[in-house]
Chain A
Amino acid sequence: MRGSAWFTALLALALGVVVAFLAIPLVALFTEIPLRRIPSLLGDQVVRDALKVTLRANLVANALILVIGTPAAYFLATRRFRGRALVVTLIELPLVLPPAVAGIAMLAAFGATGLLGDRLARAGVVLPFTEWAVIVAVTFVAAPFYLRQGIAAFESVDPSLPDAARTLGAGPARVFARVALPLAASGLIAGWVLAFARGIGEFGATIIFAGNVQGRTQTLTLAIYEQLDNDFDVALAISILLVVLSAGVLLSYKLLSAWKSSAPTSPSAFALTR
């Protein structure tokens, strides 16, 4: 008995250290400046431009990820073929790749002197310093989060359900749209939440590949970096905005999944646990 109490105390101590370590920096952000100054700081033209660029670029990137990523994930989840493990590994690689490496890789591929840069330029497509460069960078680093979760979500759909639909005469496209997709939905949304959060936070690849052009490629995280040297309070205000935004995304997803937890056929990354 005594041994177990001692052990529990040890676990609680470890948890205390974890919570304090993770919470202190976040709390510190909010105590550095008076909170009532934040709205006026966020009214700065730099912040407004950065917010616009971030939201626009992420909207397009997320649309691309969902539209192309969903069928790709479905293919990988439902078909077995030679080299599948290799493809899955390739898809997962950007997850563990340092973002700076992603930025250099983008430059090497699509930069003006890069592998495809010349051909792209001749076709009239110049990516550096344009919003498309941000979209490309965000898509590259964020897509794997959705794809990985999407594959897992489709794989965990009980195979007897699509089979049943097929025996009832549904074609493969109909099975995908009416059976697999709804059943995998909560897992897909979880993956999308991760991808969205990663995209909003994207920094390394963007600053290397897309440049820092206000109103075009300067996202919120790039604005933080620039304002750090110019106006620390503005950098703080943007950081607070991003903390609130991230917490909002996480919380709304948790509430959503708790509310519609009636069909838990696929794993959820952050289900509310009681």
Chain B
Amino acid sequence: MLRKPFLLLAASAALVIAAMVPAAARATTVYAATSLRDVFPRIDGGMTFSFAGSNTLQLQIERGAPADVFASASPKEPQALYAEKKCGRPAVFATNVLVLIVPKDNPAGITSVYDLKQGSPKRIAVGSAGVPVGGYTRQLLARMRLGRVLTQNIVSNESNVGGVVTKVALGSAVAGFVYVTDGKIASDRVRTIRLPTWAQPPIRYEYCIVQRTGADRAGAQAFVNKVRSPRGRRLLDAAGFGLPRR
């Protein structure tokens, strides 16, 4: 009496669990820096994308994440993976520059980066020290001798550039440091303030093809070829990225 419904229940539970175990992903998986979230799907919408801070992605790939391509906002992460023989030789495919963004209504009336060291402490958002955009921001401020911007204001450290954009777009922060390409993506909610060229650190995006058992090397190469194709370069350019000489 008791056994039958129990067995039935167990069998159906097993069936449900079996059906829910994710099948091995068939699409090529691209792990890419958050700043590429808009342009990469335009280049090839058929990929499975995972966008996050490049340092986060590096960590995930080191721990065996099923990535096929890794596209980073800085050379450091792919070079580290290359040294660990977790991916092939990295190559540059785009460049970028930093800007300051403020909410469209600019409640703090910020017109230049120098405004951030004047007046009362302001709520600003930056990338945390480990994520490329955070590292670049600190380099830029150091070159401008504006390091105090990060100590005398109320600074929220975001794990990727998308977090910085959101905090500014929603007005939680009155300013944030992001890439010029992010300013374009969020142009309906934020205003972009340019930063001096002489203070810009070199910002190079590098990709590498992940080496692990079961990686889709052919699919990875095909995606990389699309990124480097004339159409890929045109889309990167339209999104505001700089292009390396070929």
**Residues of A that sit less than 8 Å from B by CB:** 7, 107, 111-113, 117, 121, 126, 128-130, 209, 211-214, 216-218, 225-226, 228-230, 232
Contact = CB atoms under 8 A, between A and B. Distances in A.
30 contacts: A7-B2, A112-B103, A112-B170, A112-B171, A113-B103, A113-B171, A117-B171, A126-B123, A128-B123, A128-B167, A128-B173, A129-B172, A209-B172, A211-B167, A211-B172, A211-B173, A212-B157, A212-B158, A213-B154, A213-B155, A213-B156, A214-B155, A214-B157, A218-B157, A226-B128, A226-B157, A229-B56, A229-B131, A229-B159, A230-B128
Contacts of B131: 229
B244 interface: no
B65 interface: no
A229 B157 contact: no
Contacts of A130: 154
B129 interface: yes
A129 B123 contact: yes
Given A111-B172, A226-B128, A217 B156 contact: yes
Given A129-B123, A226-B128, A229-B56, A107 B155 contact: no
A73 B56 CA distance: 44
B78 to A, nearest CB: 16
B156 A229 contact: no
A212 B156 contact: yes
Contact of A229 (B53, B103, B123, B167): B53
A211 B171 contact: no
B125 interface: yes
A229 B59 contact: yes
Contacts of B55: 229-230
Contacts of B2: 7
Nearest to A133: B172
Interface residues of B, number: 24
Contact of A211 (B53, B56, B107, B156): B156
B64 interface: no
A209 B107 CA distance: 19
Nearest to A130: B154
Overall SS of chain A's interface: loop
B17 to A, nearest CB: 13
A128 B129 CA distance: 21
B196 interface: no
Given A107-B170, A129-B172, A229-B53, A211 B128 contact: no
A7 B2 CA distance: 10
B41 interface: no
B158 to A, nearest CB: 6
B130 interface: yes
Contact of A230 (B130, B170, B171): B130
A133 to B, nearest CB: 9
A113 B159 contact: no
Contacts of B173: 128-129, 211
Most chain B CB within a 10 A radius of its CB, from A121, A212, A216: A212
A212 B56 CA distance: 17
Residue of A129, A130, A226, A228 with highest tally of chain B CB at under 10 A: A129
A213 B171 CA distance: 16
Interface in B191-222: none
A129 B130 contact: no
B157 A128 contact: no
Given A112-B103, A217-B156, A229-B56, 4 more contacts: A121-B107, A211-B173, A226-B159, A229-B131
Contacts of B158: 212
Contacts of B167: 128, 211
A211 B156 CA distance: 6
Interface string B38-57: 00000000000000010110
Given A212-B156, A213-B154, A216-B154, A112 B128 contact: no
A129 B170 contact: no
A212 B128 CA distance: 9
A115 B69 CA distance: 42
A209 B166 CA distance: 11
A204 to B, nearest CB: 14
Contacts of A216: 154
Contacts of B107: 112, 121
A117 B125 CA distance: 19
Contacts of B53: 229
Interface in B148-202: 154-159, 167, 170-173
B178 to A, nearest CB: 15
A121 B105 CA distance: 14
Contacts of A211: 123, 125, 156, 167, 172-173
